[in-house]
Amino acid sequence: MYSVSSVVKDFHLNMPERSLQAVPRTVLTIGAFLLALQIGLRAMQPVPTARAEDLPLPPSATAARLASLGEPIALAGLMALRLQAFDNQPGISIPFAALDYAKLSGWLERILDLDPRTNYPLLMASHLYAQVPDPARQRLMLDFTYRQFLLDPERRWRYLAHAALIAKHRLHDLPLALSYARAIQDNARGTALHWASQMPIFILEDMGELEAAKIELGALLASDSISDPQEKRFLTQRYAELEARLLKIRQGR
C-alpha cells in the first residue's frame, strides 16, 4: 500500500531535472521582466514614515470622574504618565513646541481636578513644557501655573516662584515676574513668606525702580523677620548700595 506522501515523494525523486538551458527563452525573458518590474515598483514607493498623532482634547471633568470608577487618583497618575510620554510615539519623537499647548493646559488641569493634592502637573508645566523656545507657549504654561497657584498657594508657591524666574530670565518680562512674586507675597505664608519678601526687591532693582526697592528693603529690615545674621548683614549692605546709587543719581541731576 502506498500512502499519498510516499507517492509524492517517489514522483519528485523520479522526476528528471531540467537544466536552465532547457527552459524556453520566452519564459526566461518574462521572468526577468517581472523581477525587474517588482524591483522598480519597490524603489518608487516612498520610505515609510511615522506620522505624529495629534494631542486630543481632554475629557470633561464629569467624564473623567465617571471613567475613574471611584479611583480618581489612580486615573490622574495614568493620565500624567500618558501625557508625559505623548512626545515619544512609535517611530517618532515630537518636540514640545509642536504640541497644542491649549489642549496641553487642559490635560494638566484635568489631572489636577482628579487629584488636587498632586503637584506633578505644575512641575510639568513650569519645569518641562515652559522650557520651549517659544514665548507664546511659555506664557501659556506660566499662566496655567499662576491660576493653579491661586487655588492652593501654600502647596504650590514653589512652582510660581520658578515661573517668576522664567518670566525674568527667559521672557525678560520684569513686570510679569514682579506680579508673580507679589502674588506669592500676598497669598502664601510660612516658608514662602520669607522667600517672597525678598524677590520683589531684586526685581524692582532690575526694573530700575531703585527708590521702591530701597523702601521695601528698609521695611523688611525694620520688621525684624530676618534672624540669620549673615543674611541680615547681606541685606543691610544691599540697602547701603541702593542708597549710594540713588544719591549718585540725584547728584548727577
Question: Residue 40: what pLDDT?
Answer: 64
Q: 10-residue block means of pLDDT along the chain (253 residues)?
A: 47 50 64 65 54 75 90 91 71 65 93 94 92 92 96 92 94 96 87 75 90 88 80 88 87 74
CA 14 to chain centre: 72
Question: Residue 4: what pLDDT?
Answer: 44
pTM to 2 decimals? 0.71
Q: Give Cβ neighbours of residue 191 (< 8 Å, ≥ 6 apart).
A: none
Question: Residue 90: what pLDDT?
Answer: 46
Map grid coordinates 493634592 to a residue.
Answer: 117
Whether residue 79 contacts residue 67, with contact meaning beta carbons closer than 8 Å, is answered with no
CA dist 37 and 39 (Å) reads 5
CA dist 164 and 246 (Å) reads 26
Give the H or E element holding residue 92.
Answer: strand 92-93
Map grid coordinates 515619544 to a residue.
Answer: 88
**In order of start, what are the domains of the chain with their CATH numbers?**
55-192 (1.25.40), 197-253 (no CATH)
Question: Residue 231: what pLDDT?
Answer: 83
Whether residue 153 contacts residue 181, with contact meaning beta carbons closer than 8 Å, is answered with no
Question: Residue 220: what pLDDT?
Answer: 83
Question: Residue 165: what pLDDT?
Answer: 92
